[in-house]
Structure 1
């Protein structure tokens, strides 16, 4: 394995006015956007099915996925990769191999099957036991997540015409140098099978029952993946709107405009209109752009009269909501208000456009 860091940092919020300039600059630095707005959307896994993974690894897999700014790198993908690498065996040791330009014989080690020379780059003492070891599952899983996240960044920057997750998996298996040599996934049978197996296996590690998501408190009249996105968005009702907030960990302990004890970190975790949409779809493994100006180009346009649950609805270019069915829209309105459910009217919510993100939406 080989790896080097690479990331593409972009973005902002529902940017419609020069408000919170310094805060939105910080969000600009923190947030990542990588998306092909002309592509057909495919999920790569949403919430982890905790019953399908050994209990002692669940927390670390979820943390490894949550720690990556690339939304397409999901916990189910990381779980499927660990299964393929070692069948979740922290003590696994691969067969001896020789590597060009490296002396001696090498063996892949641990649950994530790191080569010793690659482990030197990604080693981390995740569980604070005083030693960073590829045979320590928490260390190896967090290192796996960091390595894959870096590869996702390289994939996003590459311009290669393949799914970034597939490119990252190719880099993990064959080395990013091989990806660059062939301008995409290298034509190695082992690598091609590796990618196909992991992407297919990730479905077995995905919780598609809705049990892994927050309880929305309302009935969701939708089927398939889109129901999970709606459920998560509705579950944020009552959380205060914060312009430029990344919506990574919304809190309800202060209602209305954030004041008093709110820290800058608290504010960064709250939602604005476009980050609410982005994070809702992220929970089902679908990456959306960060801003309304880019979200208006995703998926395909539909008539306001044909709106379906999960559709993004735009009253103007600077605001977005999600139609949830039964004539209702969930959205993050503006500073001083909370995420709310409101009535859908074609003349208002469909005025600027309606976009269908998923084919089953």
Structure 2
């Protein structure tokens, strides 16, 4: 096993670990579990009749937080994918996505083309669910409320956006949607769905060929596509909450990193190569540890590291993993997710500094 952490890089790594440990003390185990995004960009444990509609609903929504797995986890919590006409809640919600009649009148469409817009039809229900969640995600991100926008959107789906506005976030555990209803339904609804994401997230849609440390690292990185960016977040073990430093980690004026479990650009790279190769924690140190093996842009291979800088090796601010065909896998910035992106548009082309082969 290679070890590339020099004395200076080790100090940086220790400082980062100490900062992350401090943040971890401020985040409860319950919250960490609820915001754990799991991994993967595909689907698993989903009935075949739901799969194409989940993928279609995801594709129709430009919000990166909406994924097929999120919709699947929500459907399982709502109805366990039931298509029975008897799937009606005590409150009168209908079908696999549990739409109230008044809400269905707003979001329901004849998506499957059978001439009827029905909350019991899988295609109609799932696409309506996707449209509603997409709208709620936009509201969540523009609201200025702290926390995971997925949690806010799910709370809005369950209790109505008015409840989210009332508490400026997910309603607390004592909240009941209606008189006589058990307290905590919305609180646990959000928690259970986010915690169950790994059950429904399948393998990445990026196909990686070849063997060796580079392709293996690329596979590991690609498996995290869809995971949120979190400044200072991420470890060799997986996603974690990050922190804000006065400049980085903020979204809409709020510290997003401290409540978002994910990766930043360099922790994604570190995780991808661990444990076969112990790369340092931050991008500039990763460049320093691998700069003796530079790679020309015309000779890039899957797994190579690409760096962007404001002018020098000491000013490197971003690192990505080459994915082949002119693309990279990277964690771009706060508010975005780990993604596959063209090398030419991942970061400003003028800032491209060079590539190395770990």
TM-score class normalised by the smaller sequence: 0.5 to 0.7
State the partner residue of 1:145.
Answer: 130
Secondary structure of the structure 2 residue equivalent to 1:286: coil
Segments of structure 2 that go 5 or more residues without pairing to the other structure are: 1-31, 176-183, 231-246, 250-263, 267-281, 292-302, 312-316, 329-340, 347-351
Selected match of 1:198 from 193, 196, 221 = 193
State the partner residue of 1:47.
Answer: 41
- Alpha-carbon separation, structure 2, partners of 1:181 and 1:226: 44
State the partner residue of 1:284.
Answer: 226
Selected match of 1:72 from 65, 74, 78 = 65
Q: Is the counterpart of residue 313 in structure 1 residue 298 in structure 2?
A: no
Selected match of 2:354 from 346, 349, 356 = 349
What is the alpha-carbon root mean square deviation over aligned residues? Answer: 4.1
Secondary structure of the structure 2 residue equivalent to 1:349: strand
State the partner residue of 1:359.
Answer: none
**Alpha-carbon distance change, 53 to 220 in structure 1, aligned in 2, over 3 angstroms:** farther
- Alpha-carbon separation, structure 1, partners of 2:87 and 2:154: 20
Q: Within 5 A, what are the aligned runs for 1:95-244?
A: 95-97=89-91, 107-187=92-172, 188=175, 189-208=184-203, 210=204, 213-219=205-211, 221=213, 227=219, 229-230=221-222
Q: Is the counterpart of residue 58 in structure 1 residue 56 in structure 2?
A: no
The offset of 1:201, in angstroms, is: 1.4
8 Å contact from structure 2 (residues 36, 194) kept in 1: no
8 Å contact from structure 1 (residues 46, 75) kept in 2: no
State the partner residue of 2:19.
Answer: none
- Alpha-carbon separation, structure 1, partners of 2:93 and 2:212: 46
**Alpha-carbon distance change, 311 to 161 in structure 1, aligned in 2, over 3 angstroms:** farther
Secondary structure of the structure 2 residue equivalent to 1:56: coil
State the partner residue of 1:36.
Answer: none
- Alpha-carbon separation, structure 1, partners of 2:38 and 2:189: 15
The offset of 1:329, in angstroms, is: 9.0
8 Å contact from structure 1 (residues 82, 111) kept in 2: yes
**Alpha-carbon distance change, 227 to 176 in structure 1, aligned in 2, over 3 angstroms:** same
What is the aligned length?
A: 232
The offset of 1:96, in angstroms, is: 3.4
- Alpha-carbon separation, structure 2, partners of 1:307 and 1:42: 31
Secondary structure of the structure 2 residue equivalent to 1:157: helix
What's the TM-score once normalised by structure 2's chain length? 0.55
What's the TM-score once normalised by structure 1's chain length? 0.54
- Alpha-carbon separation, structure 2, partners of 1:334 and 1:144: 35
- Alpha-carbon separation, structure 2, partners of 1:329 and 1:177: 42
- Alpha-carbon separation, structure 1, partners of 2:304 and 2:161: 36
CA displacement 1:198-217 (0-9 Å, x = unmatched)? 11111100114x4xx23233
**Alpha-carbon distance change, 48 to 109 in structure 1, aligned in 2, over 3 angstroms:** same
CA displacement 1:133-190 (0-9 Å, x = unmatched)? 1011100000000000000000000111110000000000110000001111111311
CA displacement 1:38-82 (0-9 Å, x = unmatched)? xx99636532334x1111110001111121111111111100110
- Alpha-carbon separation, structure 2, partners of 1:154 and 1:225: 36
Secondary structure of the structure 1 residue equivalent to 2:196: helix
- Alpha-carbon separation, structure 2, partners of 1:171 and 1:310: 42
